[in-house]
Structure 1
Amino acid sequence: MTLIAFIVIVFGVGIAFFITLNQIVFKGKWGYFIFFLLIYLPIYITSLSLVYLVTRSPEAVLLFQSFKELIVLIAVFAFVIFQKRPFEYSFRLQTTDWLMMAFLGLTTVFLILPIGGASFVNKVLYFKGMIIPGLIYFLGRNTKFSELELNWVFQIIFVIAIAAFMVNVVESYILDMHLQQFTGYAFFNLHLSDIEPDGNYGLTWTFESTNAMKRFASFFSNPLELASSVLMGFAAGLIWFLTSDKQIQWKYALIMFCSISSLVFASSRASFAAFFVMLLFIALVFRLFKLIGFGFLCFLAFAVYVLFFASEDLYFYVIDTLKLADTSSVGHVVQWALAFDSMISNPQGIGLAMSGNFGSVTDDLRVGGENQFLIYGVQLGWLGMLLYIGMLISGIRESIVVFKNSESLNTARIAFVAGTVKVGLLLPMFTANVEIYTYVSWISWWMIGFSVHEYSKIQQERRNSILI
């Protein structure tokens, strides 16, 4: 079975990569890189684990690791090459553009200057993880897709949401085991990342709650990434439900059901709370007040399930969460305190690769690491953290404007998902290094960039109408 899965992964990813490469290089459709990322990023760690389990080759793993960055870089070069008049290219900068450039510029300064105790190689690796989302934003900022091509983006998101739920069902009710116990996840971590297997299931502690209740990740890297990623599936399903004919709304209700169910399987408290925050945001900003009632019914249904039907493990997990009595909650507070202390002592930052859970951050140098905002604050100082927060706020605001004013239905849908997902991720950012969850991070930054492109057009049309 493992060998069959390996063959499917290798041929599937390889074919998808070369089809995308053909579209970019020979047809000039550099924006198609996003389709490869949509397909590959959810199964990224699962793919690497299977490749190493079967081949035992770090070189083979490195090849598959490089696919996601390589396709982005090729798309950037193709964008430059296929410009007919490169010196006449117009780019009207918006607030999010300025903040993104300032943030990446500051990051580049920290890469060049001898700041911090991390090696230059580790700094470069960390820098790569920060610059690639910026390039993806830039590509999204310049992407011009038809309604059909935007429809493809959503269809892939829907397939991922349903597939993740189906794998969760198999894990929980048929196998009663994590998928990662079959894919060589622990073996991969041990030999290539020097991470010893932990927990009662031989994976990591992330795959279980404090009372050893299983937390499932489907084909994502861990339950926290699954929980963050399904927010995108829910937001996409919701906007299609609200903007489609009644005869087919059931399809998108199914997408929302699958996303909520996967959120329960992942048992992520921050993401579960983020789900309700996202519903409240949507209801208030987009004047969809019925969603408040829907959110209350979801909360009530969950409470009834926990009180009368859930296992004892889940019941006490929820009780401990409400009491803040579990070690995980205490651990977050400790990491926040360490990060704040570093930011107060070194307000200018202590350097790249000195905080967070990225692979290039060594344990002996790590300061804090369980809060996305503080991770950037520790490394880039207060300025870096404020620039990052500013990017999020500006991107959300401009996405809202696009949703309300765009004449393109699918562009408005993209803007809706971009804004709501970034809002939904705010709470998980307080307890996790969310930017390393490449699927939800990279795709949502592409959506923000795509929305800002439309925002720029809307602003230009308004200026022209005033002049007329």
Structure 2
Amino acid sequence: MALVIFIFLAFAIAVGLLWTVQMMIFKGKWSYFIYFLALFLPFYITTLSVVFLATRSPLLVSLFQVSKELVVLIACLVFVIFQRKIFNYPFRLQSTDWFMMGFIGLAALYLILPIGQSSFLNKALYFKSILIPTLIYFLGRNTQFGDLELKRLFQIVFIIAIGAFLMNLVENFLLNAHLQQFTGYALFNAVINDIEPQGNYNLTWTFETAAAMKRLGSFFSDPLELASSVLMGFAAGLIWFLTTERAHQWKYLLVMLCCMGSLVFASSRASFAAFFLMIFFVALVFKLYKLIGFGFLSLALFVIYVVFFASEDFYFFVVDTLTLADTSSIGHVVEWVLALDSMVVSPLGIGLAMSGNFGSVTDELRVGGENQFLIYGVQLGWIGMILYISTLLTGIWNSIFVFKNSDNLNLARMAFVAGTVKAGLLLPLFTANVEIYTYVSWVSWWMIGLSINEYSRIQLIGYKNEILI
């Protein structure tokens, strides 16, 4: 069975990769790399697990692993080649660009300098995990998509959101088990990542609550990635619901309901909070005050579900979360204290690959690791953390500006999703290494880049109008 699934996945990925590379190289559509990433990244770890289960070949696994970076690098190369006068390319840098370049420049400096106890290879691998999203941002920053091309990306986001919920239903009602228990996830982690099976389901502790209740991850790497990723599906469904004729709104309401259902199955506390934060953020910033009522209604329905209909395990999971009585909440606090202590002792940072849950960070050297801001703060110091936060906040702010001022409806929709997703992820960033969730991280950084591109155009038009006046 595993071999059949492997053949199907290998064929599907090969076809997608070949189509993408062909469009980029022969037709100059370098920006189409985002389609491949949006379709492949949600299934990334599941694909690697099935490949290893069927073949037991680390080499073959590594080929699938590098495919995502390969597509990005080819896109960068083709972008440069198709610029006939690359040295005359106009640069109108905005605040987000400056902060992003400052952040990646600082990381590059820490890669070269002899700082930290990690090996150069581990530091290089960690630097790659920062560099690729940066390249994706700058590719998005230079992307010129038409309405049809933007709609295609939205459609992919909707398909992923609905598909994830349908898989949750299969896991919960048909399998009564995690999908990862059948894909070779534990074997892949043990052999490739040197992570032994943990917990009551022989996966990792992430797949269960303190009371051993299942937390489902669908086809994503784990429940936390699922919970963070469906925020993007919800934001996309919401803006299409609000900007579509009444006769077609039901389709986007369905997308939002699927995303809310996946949040329940994932049982991620930070993402639950992020969901409500995102709703209130949208309502206040974009003056959609009816959403505040929707937010309170959703919260009331959730409370009613927990009190009257949820299982006893889920009930105590929520209660323990609110009272910080479970070991996971205490663990977060401990990790934050360790990270802050390191930042106080070493305000300039202790070097790359010294914090976080990325594969090149060894357990012996890890300091902190459950707060994205502090992870960068430990490694790159206070300056690195401030640059990262500034990139996020200016990206959110400028995306909001684009949503309000762009005359292109689909670009405005994309800016809406970019700003609200990054704002909604601010809470999960406090409790997880969210940037390793490649689907939501990479695609949303591309959306931010696209939004800043439109922001620059709007600013340029305003500047020209001032000159004419």
What is the TM-score with the length of structure 2 in the denominator? 0.99
- In the alignment, the residues of structure 2 paired with residue 200 and residue 275 of structure 1 have an alpha-carbon distance, to the nearest angstrom, of 28
Deviation, structure 1 residue 229: 0.2
- In the alignment, the residues of structure 2 paired with residue 65 and residue 403 of structure 1 have an alpha-carbon distance, to the nearest angstrom, of 35
- In the alignment, the residues of structure 1 paired with residue 253 and residue 105 of structure 2 have an alpha-carbon distance, to the nearest angstrom, of 43
Aligned to 1:161: 161
The one-letter code matched in structure 2 to 1:93 is: L
Aligned to 1:176: 176
User: SS at the partner of 2:221?
Assistant: coil
1:7-22 matches, cutoff 5 A: 7-22=7-22
Aligned to 2:23: 23
Aligned to 1:262: 262
The one-letter code matched in structure 1 to 2:334 is: V
1:75-154 matches, cutoff 5 A: 75-154=75-154
- In the alignment, the residues of structure 1 paired with residue 90 and residue 235 of structure 2 have an alpha-carbon distance, to the nearest angstrom, of 33
- In the alignment, the residues of structure 1 paired with residue 58 and residue 403 of structure 2 have an alpha-carbon distance, to the nearest angstrom, of 45
- In the alignment, the residues of structure 2 paired with residue 127 and residue 46 of structure 1 have an alpha-carbon distance, to the nearest angstrom, of 24
Aligned to 1:443: 443
Deviation, structure 1 residue 174: 1.2
1:362 aligns to 2:325 (yes or no): no
Aligned to 1:280: 280
Deviation, structure 1 residue 24: 0.4
Aligned to 1:402: 402
The one-letter code matched in structure 1 to 2:11 is: F
1:55 aligns to 2:45 (yes or no): no
Deviation, structure 1 residue 6: 1.4
Deviation, structure 1 residue 88: 1.6
The one-letter code matched in structure 1 to 2:259 is: S
- In the alignment, the residues of structure 1 paired with residue 350 and residue 242 of structure 2 have an alpha-carbon distance, to the nearest angstrom, of 47
Deviation, structure 1 residue 8: 1.6
Q: Deviations over 1:47-97 (max 9, x none)?
A: 000000000000000000000000000000000000022122101000000
- In the alignment, the residues of structure 2 paired with residue 186 and residue 426 of structure 1 have an alpha-carbon distance, to the nearest angstrom, of 30
Deviation, structure 1 residue 411: 0.2
Select between 297-306 and 225-234 the one with higher mean Cα deviation: 297-306
- In the alignment, the residues of structure 1 paired with residue 86 and residue 186 of structure 2 have an alpha-carbon distance, to the nearest angstrom, of 48
- In the alignment, the residues of structure 2 paired with residue 390 and residue 309 of structure 1 have an alpha-carbon distance, to the nearest angstrom, of 42
The one-letter code matched in structure 2 to 1:136 is: I
What is the TM-score with the length of structure 1 in the denominator? 1.00
Deviation, structure 1 residue 284: 0.3
- In the alignment, the residues of structure 2 paired with residue 8 and residue 42 of structure 1 have an alpha-carbon distance, to the nearest angstrom, of 16
The one-letter code matched in structure 2 to 1:225 is: E
Aligned to 2:292: 292
Deviation, structure 1 residue 323: 1.1
1:216 aligns to 2:235 (yes or no): no
- In the alignment, the residues of structure 2 paired with residue 199 and residue 92 of structure 1 have an alpha-carbon distance, to the nearest angstrom, of 51
- In the alignment, the residues of structure 2 paired with residue 120 and residue 153 of structure 1 have an alpha-carbon distance, to the nearest angstrom, of 37
Q: Deviations over 1:161-187 (max 9, x none)?
A: 000000000001111100000000000
The one-letter code matched in structure 2 to 1:4 is: V
Aligned to 2:44: 44
1:346-361 matches, cutoff 5 A: 346-361=346-361
The one-letter code matched in structure 2 to 1:3 is: L
Aligned to 2:34: 34
- Alignment length (residue pairs): 468
- In the alignment, the residues of structure 1 paired with residue 307 and residue 398 of structure 2 have an alpha-carbon distance, to the nearest angstrom, of 42
Aligned to 1:188: 188
Deviation, structure 1 residue 322: 1.2
Unaligned runs of 5+ in 1: none
1:310-321 matches, cutoff 5 A: 310-321=310-321
The one-letter code matched in structure 2 to 1:217 is: G
Deviation, structure 1 residue 4: 2.5
- In the alignment, the residues of structure 2 paired with residue 393 and residue 305 of structure 1 have an alpha-carbon distance, to the nearest angstrom, of 34
Deviation, structure 1 residue 412: 0.3
Moved beyond 3 Å, runs of 4+: none
The one-letter code matched in structure 2 to 1:175 is: L
Aligned to 2:324: 324
Q: Deviations over 1:189-209 (max 9, x none)?
A: 000111000000010000000
- In the alignment, the residues of structure 2 paired with residue 408 and residue 340 of structure 1 have an alpha-carbon distance, to the nearest angstrom, of 44
- In the alignment, the residues of structure 2 paired with residue 323 and residue 81 of structure 1 have an alpha-carbon distance, to the nearest angstrom, of 57
The one-letter code matched in structure 2 to 1:261 is: G
Aligned to 1:333: 333
CA RMSD of aligned residues (A): 0.5
Aligned to 1:206: 206
Deviation, structure 1 residue 2: 2.3
Deviation, structure 1 residue 3: 2.5
- In the alignment, the residues of structure 1 paired with residue 212 and residue 373 of structure 2 have an alpha-carbon distance, to the nearest angstrom, of 29
- In the alignment, the residues of structure 2 paired with residue 403 and residue 314 of structure 1 have an alpha-carbon distance, to the nearest angstrom, of 38
User: SS at the partner of 1:59?
Assistant: helix
Aligned to 2:252: 252
Unaligned runs of 5+ in 2: none
The one-letter code matched in structure 2 to 1:364 is: E
The one-letter code matched in structure 2 to 1:167 is: M
Q: Deviations over 1:305-349 (max 9, x none)?
A: 111111111011111111110000000000000000000000000
- In the alignment, the residues of structure 1 paired with residue 26 and residue 167 of structure 2 have an alpha-carbon distance, to the nearest angstrom, of 36
